[in-house]
Amino acid sequence: MKLKYILSLSMLLILALVSCEYDNYEAPECEFKGQLVCDGEPFQFDANRTIFKFYQTGFGKEDGGINMNILNDGSYKQLLFSGEDYKLTLVNQALPFEMPDFPSRGAGLGYDTIYYHMNGNVYQPFEVRPYYKLSNLSAKLSENGRNIEATFDVTKMTNTEKEAPAIKTARIYLGTSVIVDSGIACLRSKTVTDPDATTLTVSIPLAYYRDKKYYINNFRTYAYYRVAIELEGIPDYYLFSDIQKIEGLPVE
């Protein structure tokens, strides 16, 4: 029994020393941050997704990449190690916009890479050229008070290298806070049948907002909402509007 007890204490001591060794590694201290920009304004993004991946070079092989989070307002921030080399590129997926700093290499071939040697904090904005711009968003209750109807303008852009894909669907998302993105389940979508439409309307039943499947005990008289469009051939990333608030919602 004494032998087992001594062995147990020895194992605990070894584990403690190993744990301390791991804890003593330095944390990344360099801040890489910036802003997605479109026509001089913050580009509205989907915080439930990311487009940036950092890869650290050296060590005999490439790592799996670090996804850099992007907020709904298009701002981003990532901590990296000082003195290390990194490569920044985009996810290898079709996107509803173009970024001049990351030219496409062709379908399925990914995007160009930017190299950084981190010796301090970096502020790096990136220009975004969406195939469409969403503007003039507004929402109201339908005449019967059962639906929230959102209307917005869609403008096809002319400064992209590729022709804009057709708009496939329009979506509306309802949230109880200012954090509204594609991760919200309370949504409604509709097929867009007119490829030349410049104004779109999409509605969602108010009953969805009250449904406990989405929000429990939701008696709020307001909601935060946002719209998005899905483009043909680009199923995973949408173009989003800003986030707005509608008030005066009936509880019953």
pTM of the model: 0.86
Query: Which residues make Cβ contacts (< 8 Å) with residue 219, sequence separation at least 6?
Result: 251
- For residue 125, count other CB atoms closer than 10 A to its CB: 16
Which uninterrupted H or E stretch holds 8?
Answer: helix 2-23
Which pair of structure tokens corresponds to residue 86? 């990194």
- Kindly report, residue by residue over 134-156, the tens digit of the pLDDT: 999 999 999 999 999 999 999 99
Q: How far apart are CA 175 and CA 140, in angstroms?
A: 15
- Kindly report, residue by residue over 60-83, the tens digit of the pLDDT: 445 678 999 999 999 999 999 999
